[in-house]
């Protein structure tokens, strides 16, 4: 009869070794990758927020300029800066 106890203990230690290698891969490779992805996501989020604020500021500035231009009505005999021509 073969020795069954010796076989089960060697396959059991192989299983533990395999689990140990898997844990090492998770902690050495996967967790740092997830951390780098998180940091990159936060950087992109911050840059997007800054760009949105810039865009909003420019949009508001353009609207203010349009309002100002719409308020000034030129008569046909005036220059754009409001002066009247010397020879009417």
pLDDT tens for each residue of 58-83: 999 999 988 887 766 555 666 666 66
| Residue 39 belongs to some domain of the structure | yes
| Residue 13 belongs to some domain of the structure | no
For the chain, how many structural domains are there in total? 1
Sign of the Cα pseudo-torsion (76, 81, 82, 83, in order)? negative
pLDDT digits (tens, 9 = 90+) for 23-72: 888 888 888 899 999 999 999 999 999 999 999 999 999 999 888 877 66
* Interatomic CA distance for residues 81 and 33, integer angstroms: 61
| Residue 16 belongs to some domain of the structure | no
* Interatomic CA distance for residues 12 and 3, integer angstroms: 15
Tokens, residue 9: 């203990």
At 1 the pLDDT is 45
> Residue 42 is part of which domain span?
28-52
* Interatomic CA distance for residues 69 and 41, integer angstroms: 42
At 30 the pLDDT is 85
- Which parts of the chain are beta strand (E)? none
């Amino acid at each position: 009869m073969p020795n069954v106890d010796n076989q089960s203990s060697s396959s059991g230690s192989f299983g533990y070794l395999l689990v140990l290698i898997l844990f090492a891969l998770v902690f050495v490779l996967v967790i740092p990758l997830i951390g780098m992805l998180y940091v990159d996501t936060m950087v992109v989020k911050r840059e997007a927020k800054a760009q949105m604020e810039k865009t909003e500021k420019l949009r508001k500035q353009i609207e203010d300029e349009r309002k100002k231009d719409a308020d000034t009505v030129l008569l046909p005999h005036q220059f754009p800066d409001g002066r009247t021509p010397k020879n009417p």
